[in-house]
Amino acid sequence: MARLKQAKQAPRDNATDTSMGFTPERFERELKDLASKAKNDTWSNRVLGQVVLYVKTLVLLTLLGVYSNASQLALSPVYGSVPAATWHSKVLMAGCFIGWAGNLAFRQLLPMKTEQLLPLVALYVPVMQFFLYQFSQTLGPDYGPLVTEGITLVPLAILTAASVADNLEGVDLSSMPKVLGDAVPGVGSWGTFKLVEHIAEKLLQKHVGTVFWYTRMGMEILLAGSYTVFAPSKYLALAIPALVHTAMFNPHVSTPTATALLNTTLMADDWMILDRRESITGYISVVEQTKSKMRVLRVDHSLLGGDWVEWRGNQVTEPVYAVFVTLEAVRLVEREVPVADADAKALVIGLGIGTAPSALVSHGIETTFVEIDPVVYEFAQKYFQLRENHPPVIEDAIKYTNRAANETKEIYDYIIHDVFTGGVEPIDLFTFEFFQNLYTLLKPDGVIAINYAGDLMLPNPKSIVRTILQNFPTCRLFRENPPDDKAIAQMGSDFTNMIIFCRKANGELTFRDPVQADYLNSPSRHNFLKPQNEVLPGDIFSYGKGGEEGFLFRNGTDKVKEGQHPNAAGHWAVMRNTLPATFWERW
C-alpha cells in the first residue's frame, strides 16, 4: 500500500515542480543568478581570460620553435647539417597546416585535448630518433631526415597547431573586419612561430654545449619536461618506457653513464671514444680505432682530420689524410727573394687537428691560426699534439680578417685556407670579399694555399675557382687523387679535395724540390708533400654541370647555399665509405 501511495503521489510532485517554474520565487532566484554572473563577467575578467589564451598560445609556439632547432641539431651527427635542413621547413609547414586545418576533427576523434598528447609525443622523440638512426644507411641523406622528422617532429607540429587553433577560437576578434578576423589567428601564429624559431637559432649558436640543457638531448629532455608541466595528463604513465630508455640506454645523452655505454657498443667494432662535446660548429668527438691506432676528430657527419698514434714521437704527427700534408707545400713555392723559415710569418684559417700549423711551427715559422670553435682548439691541444708559437685566435675568420686587413695591417709570407665543417664548405669564407682580405694580408711575393672539398661536377666549385682566380693573378690547381672514371660514371659525382696554390705577384708559379729538412722525418711528407694530380682551370669549368657561373659575392651566397645539398650528399657517401655506419649512428 505504501508503494502504491508513493506512485500515486509522484505525478503530483512533478506537476508541482513544473508549476513552481513559473512562481515569483523561482523567477526571483533566476534573476539573482544572472546578476551574480553579470557581476563576475567584468571587463578585467574578460581581459584576463583573453590574456590566458594568448599566453598559452605563445608557450605552445615557443616550445615548437625551440624544438624545431633541437630536431635539426639531433639529425646533424647522422646526416650532416645540410641534409638535415633540406626537408625540415617543408615537413614542419605541412604538419602545422594539418594541425590547423584538422583541429575540429581531432576534437571529435581524440578522447582528450590535443595539448595533453604533446608531453607523451615529446617524451618518445629521443627514443624514436635512436631507433630510426639505425636505418640511416638504408634511407640515405635524402630520405633519412625526412622519415625521421616525419615520425618525430611532424606529430609535435600537428598537435601544437591544433592546440593553438583550439585556443584562438576563444579569442575575441569582434572589433576587426571579418576578413581580418579570419586571417589574423593563422598568419599571426605562423609569424610568431617563425620569429621564435629564429631567435632560438641565434641563441643556440652562441650557447650550444655550454651546459647540459643546451646539448641536443638535453634540450629535447627539457622541452619534454616543459610540455609535461604545461599540459599534465593521466596518459603520461604510458611514457615510462621512454623515460627509462632515455635515462639508461640512450648513448646520445651527454652523461658519463651514457658515454660508458657508448664505448661498450663501439668496442665491439674496435672503436673507443676518448672525449666528446657539443659546440658551435656541431657535435665534436675524438675517437680511436683500437687495432690500427688511428685517432680522428669528428664534427657532425665529417672528419676534420686524424693521425696514427703509433707514429707519434717524431717531429710531427703522421696524418691520416695526405691533403693536409700537401698544404705545407706553400713553403716550396719559389719566390724572387727566398725567405728563411725563421724570418717568415704564416696565417692558417681553420685548425682541424692542427696538421699544417704544427708543421709550420716545427719549421720555425711564426704561425697564427684562426679557429672559430674553442672545442676544436681544445681537442687539438689535448689529443693531437698541436704545436704553437703564437697566441691562437679563437674567433670568426671573417671578423678577424676584416680587422686585420683594415686596422692592424698584419702581413704574412704564407696563408693556408682550410675550412670544412659538417659535410659542407662554409660559403661565407669563399666569397670575393673574403679573398680580397686575404690578398691584402699577403706580402707582395707571398703565397696562399686553399683547400676546397666538393663535387667537381657541380656548379659551386666552378664559381669558387673563378672567384679565387679573380683575386690572385697566378694560380695552379691540384686534386688529392686522380679521377676514377669508372666510379664517376657509376655515381655521377666526383667528390675530392682540390688544393689551389696562388701567388700575389704575377709570373710563373713553380715548386722547388724538397730537401730532407722539409720532410720533418715524416713518411707521409716524403710521399705527399710535393703537389700531384694537377688540373687546369679550363678543365674545371667545362666539367660536369654548369660552366658559366660568375663570382661568389657576400650578398649572393643564398643561391649557392641552396645548391649545397648534392655536395653534402656526396660527402656523406664518402664518409660512409670511409667508416662504418654504426660509427656515425651511435655518436
- Is residue 136 domain-resident? yes
What mean pLDDT is predicted for residues 329-340? Answer: 96
Element (H, E) at 449: strand 442-455
Q: Is the pLDDT of residue 19 over 50?
A: no
Residue 399 has pLDDT above 60, yes or no: yes
pLDDT at residue number 32 = 66
Query: pLDDT-based confidence at 410, cuts 50/70/90?
Result: confident
- Main-chain phi, psi angles of 172, to 5 degrees: -85, 105
For the residues 163-185, what does the mean pLDDT come to?
81
Say if strands 345-349 and 393-394 run parallel, antiparallel, or are unpaired: unpaired
Q: How far apart are CA 167 and CA 56, in angstroms?
A: 8
Q: Is residue 279 part of a domain?
A: no
Residue 541 pLDDT level (bands cut at 50, 70, 90): confident
Same-domain status, 101 and 225: yes
Identify whether residues 238 and 326 lie together within a single domain.
no
- Position 462 in a domain: yes
- Residue 69 inside a domain? The answer is yes
Handedness of CA 118, 122, 127, 133 (dihedral sign): positive
Question: Based on the domain organization, do 527 and 438 belong to the same domain?
Answer: yes
Out of 224, 248, 272, a domain closes at: 248
| 551-565 per-position pLDDT tens digit | 899 988 887 777 788
Same domain? For 104 and 218 the reply is: yes
> pLDDT higher for 23 or 220?
220
Q: Which range, of 18-22, 306-310, 467-471, averages the lowest pLDDT? A: 18-22
Taking alpha carbons only, the member of 100, 108, 105 closest to residue 160 is: 100
Q: Are 529 and 328 in contact (CB under 8 A)?
A: yes
- Of the candidates 488, 496, 504, 570, which has an alpha carbon nearest to the alpha carbon of residue 533? 496
End-of-domain residue from the set 198, 214, 248: 248
- Check residue 173 and give its pLDDT: 75
Type of residue numbered 364: G
- pLDDT at residue 442 tops 50: yes
The pLDDT of residue 38: 54
Same domain, 239 and 359: no
Which pLDDT belongs to residue 15? 41
- Residue 209 sits in the same domain as residue 354: no
The verdict on 381 and 482 lying in the same domain is: yes
Q: Does the structure show a pLDDT above 70 at 396?
A: yes
* Rounded average pLDDT over 228-247: 91
Task: Give catalytic status of residue 166 as yes or no.
Answer: no
Would residue 552 be called left, alpha or beta, if left means φ above 0 and alpha means ψ between -120 and 50 degrees? beta
Domain termination residue (choose one: 189, 213, 248): 248
**pLDDT greater than 70 at residue 4:** no
DSSP class of residue 389 equals: S
pLDDT of residue 468 exceeding 90, the answer is: yes
Domain interval for residue 435: 322-577
The model's pLDDT over 107-152, given as tens digits with 9 standing for 90+, comes to 999 988 999 999 999 999 999 999 999 999 999 999 999 999 999 9
What's the CATH number where 561 sits? 3.40.50.150
Give percent of the chain above pLDDT 70.
Answer: 92
Please state the rounded mean pLDDT for residues 408-426.
Answer: 83
Answer yes or no: do 356 and 222 share one domain: no
User: Which of the two residues, 334 and 312, has the higher pLDDT score?
Assistant: 334
What is the reported pLDDT for 149?
Answer: 98
- Residue 559, pLDDT score: 75
Does pLDDT of 330 surpass 90?
A: yes
Distance CA 560, CA 464 (A): 10
Residue 424 has pLDDT above 80, yes or no: no
| pLDDT tier for residue 17 given thresholds of 50, 70 and 90 | very low
Please check whether residue 377 is in contact with residue 394, taking contact to mean a CB–CB distance below 8 angstroms: yes
- pTM more than 0.85: yes
Amino acid at 16: T
Query: Which of 391, 500, 501, 493 has its CA nearest to residue 446?
Result: 501
Count of beta carbons in the 10 Å neighbourhood of residue 179: 8
Same structural domain, 200 and 344: no
Residues 334 and 474 occupy one common structural domain = yes
pLDDT of 220 reads: 97
Pair 348, 418: CB distance under 8 Å = yes
Lowest mean pLDDT among 3-17, 104-118, 215-229: 3-17
550 pLDDT band (50/70/90 cuts)?
confident
Predicted confidence at residue 546, as pLDDT, reads 63
Whether the per-residue pLDDT at 7 is higher than 50: the answer is no
User: What pLDDT score does 171 carry?
Assistant: 80
Residues 236 and 353 in one domain: no
Tens digits of residue pLDDT in 85-114:
999 999 999 999 999 999 999 999 998 899
**pLDDT-derived band at 31, boundaries 50, 70, 90:** low
Q: What is the pLDDT of residue 401?
A: 95
Higher pLDDT, 178 or 261: 261
- 68 within a domain of the structure (yes/no): yes
Q: What share of the chain is helix, strand, coil (3-state, %, to 5)?
A: 60, 15, 25
293: in domain: no
Q: Is residue 259 part of a domain?
A: no
pLDDT of residue 16: 42
pLDDT at 14: 43
pLDDT computed for residue 180 by the predictor: 72
In this prediction, residue 5 carries a pLDDT of 41
Mean pLDDT of the 339-351 span: 97
CATH of the domain at 168: 1.20.1250
Res 6 pLDDT > 70: no
pLDDT level of residue 423 (50, 70, 90 thresholds): low
- With contact defined as beta carbons under 8 Å apart, do 142 and 80 qualify? no
In total, how many domains does the chain have? 2
pLDDT tens digits, 57-73: 999 999 999 999 999 99
Query: Is the pLDDT higher at 75 or at 461?
Result: 75
DSSP string, 248-275: HT-TTS-SHHHHHHHHHHHHTTTEEEEE
Confidence of residue 2 (pLDDT cuts 50, 70, 90): very low
Q: What span, in angstroms and rounded, lies between the C-alpha atoms of 285 and 279?
A: 10
Whole-angstrom Cα distance, residue 171 to residue 173? 6
Is residue 489 domain-resident?
A: yes
Q: Are 110 and 103 in contact (CB under 8 A)?
A: no
Please pick, among 300, 307, 418, 494, the residue that the annotation labels catalytic. Answer: 418
Q: What angle do CA 154, 113, 172 make, to 5 degrees?
A: 95
CA quadruple 244, 246, 250, 254: dihedral sign: negative
Same domain, 100 and 215: yes
Rounded to the nearest 5 degrees, what angle is found at the Cα of 362, between the Cα atoms of 356 and 365? 80
